Amino acid sequence: MRYAAGVGALLNSIAPVELENGVKPVQDAYKWRLVLAYDGTHYAGWQYQQSPPTVQCTVEKALTQATKLQRKDLCLVGSSRTDAGVHAWGQVAHFFTPFNYDNLEELHAALNGLLPSDIRVREISPASAEFHARFSAKSKIYHYKIYNDTIMDPFQRHFAFHSVYKLNSTVMKEAAKYFVGKHDFSAFANASHNDRVPDPVKHIFRFDVKEMGALLQLEVEGSGFLYRQVRNMVALLLQIGREAIPPEIVPHILASRDRKELAKYSLSSPPHGLCLVSINYNESHLLPPPGCPANSFGRHHTIRKCKVPFFY
- CB contact burial 198-235 (16+ within 10 A = b; e otherwise): beeebebeebebeeeebebbbebbbbbbbbbbbbbbbb
Is there a cis peptide before residue 271, judged by omega within 30 degrees of 0? no
Active site residue 83: yes
- In angstroms, the CA 210 to CA 120 distance is 27
Please tell me whether 142 is known to bind a ligand.
yes
Exactly one of 73, 83, 195, 199 is catalytic; name it: 83
Alpha-carbon span 67 to 63, nearest angstrom: 6
Buried b (16+ CB within 10 A) or exposed e, 131-168: bbbbebbebbbbbbbbbbeeeeeeebeebbbbbeeebe
- In whole angstroms, what is the distance from residue 130 CA to residue 287 CA? 9
Positions at the binding site for substrate: 142
| Residues recognised as catalytic | 83
